Each structure stands twice: as C-alpha cells, then as structure tokens.
Amino acid sequence: MYKDRTEKRQKYYDTVMHLHFVEGYGEDRIAKILPIGHTTVNRWIANFVAENKNSNLIAMQRKKRNTKSQKQQTKQQTPVTTPAADEVEKLKAEIDNLRKALDYEKLRAEAYNTMIDIAEKKFSISIRKKRGAKQ
C-alpha cells in the first residue's frame, strides 16, 4: 500500500501542482482528472505551500486570483438593464425550452406505443393492461 502511494506521488505530484497553481483547477476537479482522491490532492497542495512559501507557482496563482477578482468587480460595476426586460427574456426562453421538452416527450410516448404494438404482434401476447380487471 505504501509503495503504491509513493508511485502515485512520483507520477502525479508535478501534474497536480501544475493543474492547481498554473491552470487554477480546484481539488475536486483535479481528483476527477487524475486517479487520485481529493483529500490526497488537498494534502499535497498544503504540503507544497508549507514547503515553498515564496515559490513562483504560488505567486502566479495569487496574480490570477487578483485579476479574477478585478474582473468580477468590473462586472459588478456595469450598468444593469431593466429587470422587467431581463425577466421577459428569461420567461420566453423557458417557454421555448418547455415546448421543446413537450414535443420530445410526445415523440417518446409515441415511440413506446409503437414498440408495444410491434411486440404484441410479433410475440402474440398482450402487454397493455386490460380494463375491468378482477379485484
């Protein structure tokens, strides 16, 4: 077991550090990409930060976080359009999505009915529930 852990560390440690500090991926996303648990990724990152407090990778990540927060602040400062217009557009989009979903479900129900009809003819057994069943 211990040997397996050291092999994983040798294989994936540098990749984890690159994905976290350079690409900006979080622990869970890295754990989905690589065959490592998110707890292990968290521990590796914490150890790396403790060992390399003045590392270039950490400084790069801090720069990225600062630029992201600056972008978010500028987005928050942009003027907002009227809420009524946005709400109307959202409702229209929702209506379109619901209509598409309804059409899809109608097509699906028709496909199921056709499948049952074909099965009843081919195997000569009745599949649908009979009316007036005994109680």
- Same domain? For 98 and 57 the reply is no
- Same domain? For 67 and 97 the reply is no
More confident call, 9 vs 64:
9
- Same domain? For 49 and 66 the reply is yes
Q: Which of 57-61, 64-68, 103-107 has the highest mean pLDDT?
A: 103-107
Taking the C-alpha atoms of residue 99 and residue 112, their distance in angstroms, rounded to an integer, is 20
Domain that holds residue 9: 2-72
Taking the C-alpha atoms of residue 25 and residue 96, their distance in angstroms, rounded to an integer, is 35
- Same domain? For 14 and 53 the reply is yes
Domain boundary among 72, 95, 127: 72
Q: How many separate domains does the chain show?
A: 2
More confident call, 58 vs 86:
86
pTM > 0.95:
no
> What's the whole-number mean pLDDT along residues 87-115?
94
The overall average pLDDT reported for the chain is 78
Q: Are 59 and 22 in contact (CB under 8 A)?
A: no
pLDDT tens, position by position, 18-40:
787 777 888 888 888 888 888 88
- Same domain? For 67 and 24 the reply is yes
- Same domain? For 11 and 67 the reply is yes
- Same domain? For 36 and 86 the reply is no
pLDDT tens, position by position, 38-57:
888 888 888 877 777 666 65
61: left (phi over 0), alpha (psi -120 to 50) or beta: alpha
- Same domain? For 95 and 60 the reply is no
